[in-house]
Amino acid sequence: MKKYLFYILIPFSGFLSIQYVNAQDYAPKQTPDRITLHLGENPATSFSINYRTSSEMEESYIQVSLENSSPDLEKYLITKKADKKVLDSDGSLANYFTVSVDGLDPETLYVYRIGNDDSWSEWNQVTTASSNLDTFSFIYLGDIQNNIKSLASRVIRKSYSHLPNASFILYSGDLINRTHNDQEWGEWYEAGGWINSQVPVLATPGNHEYTRDEERNLQLDNHWDKQFSFQKNGPAPYQSSVYYQDYGNMRIISLDTQLIMLDSISRQIQKEWLDQVLKTTENKWKIILMHHPVYSVSHNRDNPILRDLFQPIFEKHDVDLVLQGHDHTYGRGFKPMPDPGTSKGPMYIVSVAGPKMYTPTLDRWTERSGANIQLYQLISVKGDRLSYESFTTDGKKYDGFDLSKNPGDNKFELHDHMGPEKNELPAGRLEKLSQEEINSYNKIYKTNY
CATH of the domain at 105: 2.60.40.380
Report the CATH number that the domain containing residue 228 is assigned in CATH. 3.60.21.10
Considering the domain architecture, whether residues 286 and 169 belong to the same structural domain is answered as yes
pLDDT of residue 121: 98
**Which domain-ending residue is among 127, 150, 166?**
127
Confidence at 68, pLDDT banded by 50, 70, 90: very high
Considering the domain architecture, whether residues 178 and 318 belong to the same structural domain is answered as yes
Q: Check pLDDT > 70 for residue 368.
A: yes
pLDDT of residue 349: 98
Average pLDDT of span 413-434: 84
CA dist., res. 190 & res. 149, Å (int): 7
Q: Check pLDDT > 90 for residue 149.
A: yes
- Whether the model clears a pTM of 0.75, i.e. scores above it, the answer is yes
Query: What is the DSSP code (8-state) at residue 383?
Result: T
Q: Check pLDDT > 70 for residue 2.
A: no
Confidence at 123, pLDDT banded by 50, 70, 90: very high
Domain presence at residue 1: no
Q: Check pLDDT > 80 for residue 8.
A: no
Q: Check pLDDT > 50 for residue 133.
A: yes
pLDDT of residue 3: 43
pLDDT of residue 343: 56
Average pLDDT of span 210-231: 95
Look at 125 and 336; give whichever has higher pLDDT: 125
Average pLDDT of span 108-125: 98
Considering the domain architecture, whether residues 47 and 148 belong to the same structural domain is answered as no
The total domain count for the chain is 2
Identify the helix (H) or strand (E) that includes residue 183.
Answer: helix 182-192
By residue range, what is the domain housing residue 318?
Answer: 135-445
Considering the domain architecture, whether residues 158 and 94 belong to the same structural domain is answered as no
CA dihedral angle for residue 237, residue 240, residue 242, residue 248, rounded to 10 degrees: 140
Considering the domain architecture, whether residues 61 and 140 belong to the same structural domain is answered as no
Considering the domain architecture, whether residues 194 and 71 belong to the same structural domain is answered as no
Confidence at 339, pLDDT banded by 50, 70, 90: low
Domain presence at residue 394: yes
Three-class SS state of 129: coil
Confidence at 89, pLDDT banded by 50, 70, 90: confident
Domain presence at residue 83: yes
Considering the domain architecture, whether residues 240 and 111 belong to the same structural domain is answered as no
**Which domain-ending residue is among 127, 161, 195?**
127
Considering the domain architecture, whether residues 83 and 145 belong to the same structural domain is answered as no
Domain presence at residue 27: no
Average pLDDT of span 317-322: 96
Confidence at 418, pLDDT banded by 50, 70, 90: confident
**Which domain-ending residue is among 85, 102, 127?**
127
pLDDT of residue 410: 66
Considering the domain architecture, whether residues 63 and 141 belong to the same structural domain is answered as no
pLDDT of residue 6: 43
pLDDT of residue 409: 66
Residue 437, number of CB atoms within 10 A of its CB: 15
Q: Check pLDDT > 50 for residue 53.
A: yes
Domain presence at residue 20: no
Considering the domain architecture, whether residues 279 and 248 belong to the same structural domain is answered as yes
Q: Report in angstroms the alpha-carbon separations of 230 from 80, 196, 296, 408, 410.
A: 19, 14, 27, 32, 30
Domain presence at residue 22: no
What percent of the chain is predicted at pLDDT more than 70? 91
Query: What is the DSSP code (8-state) at residue 264?
Result: H
What percent of the chain is predicted at pLDDT more than 90? 82
Considering the domain architecture, whether residues 239 and 259 belong to the same structural domain is answered as yes
Considering the domain architecture, whether residues 85 and 218 belong to the same structural domain is answered as no
Domain presence at residue 2: no
Buried-state track 193-224, b at ≥16 Cβ within 10 A, e below 16: eebbbbbbbbbbbbbbbbeeeeeeebebbebb
Look at 180 and 10; give whichever has higher pLDDT: 180
pLDDT digits (tens, 9 = 90+) for 379-415: 999 999 999 999 999 999 999 999 998 766 667 777 7
Q: What is the mean pLDDT of the chain?
A: 91
